[in-house]
């Protein structure tokens, strides 16, 4: 098994993308075995699963949003449902970019509300809310990062400086009890920090794979958060460490 998985990693690193059927044929094994191998290798960070196969993943590479959206999808939906339930009529909310906040936008579009103001820096979030009649949508400007449909930079920060929000839903790439909230993108870290400053309540929406990880840019200390919504796979010791920092945690 170890040798087969080593060969899978070597093939993907060399070719960039492979299908499960092709791997099964080349390695003379079943598609079921290959899918099991790919799940295990994806969990270890060696590659990224795609529909019908896998692609290479080097440290520092940005994972396209279309692929990230499929990772831990049931957990993200539960987190989004719990977060959407916090929104009340008349609220002004900030929605950060990310696959979990995108799921939250979909849930908000279905909520039986009369009027909600939504400020966002994410094109996909905006598109999910564009036809929701109860949502008044405000888009921040900025420079587009195409793999994530995210706008950031000085223009976005300038737009946000004149706004305020009742609640920020923040999608973080990494959350570590010691280092705080992190992202690999410097401009987004700066914008996220400003989002925190203009919001009365800060809610992080992050599945358990994001916990106890570290990244390049620190957005802020853990104490910036009022609430973390995560899933039941989060390790109890990590949840306890976050609560010890004064942050409420909702596990769904």
What domain range includes position 56? Answer: 2-60
d(CA 190, CA 153): 8
Q: What is the pLDDT of residue 67?
A: 55
Query: Could you tell me if residue 234 is inside a domain?
Result: yes
Q: What's the length of the chain?
A: 252
Query: Could you tell me if residue 66 is inside a domain?
Result: no
Question: How many domains does the chain fold into?
Answer: 2
Answer with the one of 60, 85, 102 that is the final residue of a domain: 60
Query: Could you tell me if residue 67 is inside a domain?
Result: no
User: Within this chain, do residues 142 and 228 fall inside the same structural domain, yes or no?
Assistant: yes
Looking at per-residue pLDDT, the higher value among 65 and 91 belongs to 91
User: Within this chain, do residues 13 and 118 fall inside the same structural domain, yes or no?
Assistant: no
Extended beta strands in 172-235, E state: 174-176, 180-183, 199-205, 217-220, 227-230
Q: pLDDT digit string (tens) for 117-158?
A: 999 999 999 999 999 999 999 999 999 987 788 999 999 999
User: Within this chain, do residues 246 and 209 fall inside the same structural domain, yes or no?
Assistant: yes
Q: What is the pLDDT of residue 232?
A: 96
Looking at per-residue pLDDT, the higher value among 46 and 36 belongs to 36
Kindly state the tokens that stand for 41: 């290798």
Query: Could you tell me if residue 122 is inside a domain?
Result: yes
Question: Model confidence at 65, in pLDDT bands (50, 70, 90)?
Answer: low
Q: Which residues have CB under 8 Å from 201's CB, separation 6+? A: 166, 167, 168, 226, 227
Residue 205: beta bridge partners? 229
User: Within this chain, do residues 168 and 100 fall inside the same structural domain, yes or no?
Assistant: yes
Extended beta strands in 149-208, E state: 150-152, 165-170, 174-176, 180-183, 199-205
């Amino acid at each position: 098994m170890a040798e087969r998985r080593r060969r899978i990693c070597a093939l993907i690193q060399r070719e960039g993308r492979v299908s499960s059927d092709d791997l099964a044929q080349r390695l003379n094994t079943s598609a079921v075995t290959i899918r099991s191998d790919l799940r295990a290798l994806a969990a270890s960070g060696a590659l990224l699963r795609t529909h019908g196969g896998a692609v290479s993943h080097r440290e520092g590479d940005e994972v396209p949003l279309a692929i990230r959206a499929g990772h831990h999808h049931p957990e993200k939906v539960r987190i989004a449902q719990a977060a959407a339930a916090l929104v009340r009529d008349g609220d002004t909310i900030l929605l950060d970019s990310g696959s979990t906040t995108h799921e939250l936008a979909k849930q908000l579009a279905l909520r039986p509300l009369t009027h909600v103001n939504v400020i966002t820096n994410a094109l996909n979030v905006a598109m999910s809310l564009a036809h929701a009649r109860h949502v008044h949508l405000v888009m921040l400007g900025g420079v587009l990062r195409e793999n994530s449909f995210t706008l950031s930079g000085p223009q976005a920060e300038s737009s946000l400086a004149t706004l305020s929000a009742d609640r920020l839903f923040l999608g973080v790439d990494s959350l570590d009890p010691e280092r705080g909230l992190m992202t690999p993108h410097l401009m987004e870290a700066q914008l996220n920090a400003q989002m925190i400053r203009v919001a009365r309540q800060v809610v992080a929406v992050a599945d358990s794979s994001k916990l106890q990880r570290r990244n390049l840019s620190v957005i802020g200390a853990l104490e910036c958060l009022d609430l973390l919504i995560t899933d039941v796979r989060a390790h109890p010791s990590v949840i306890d460490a976050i609560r010890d920092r004064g942050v409420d945690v909702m596990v769904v």
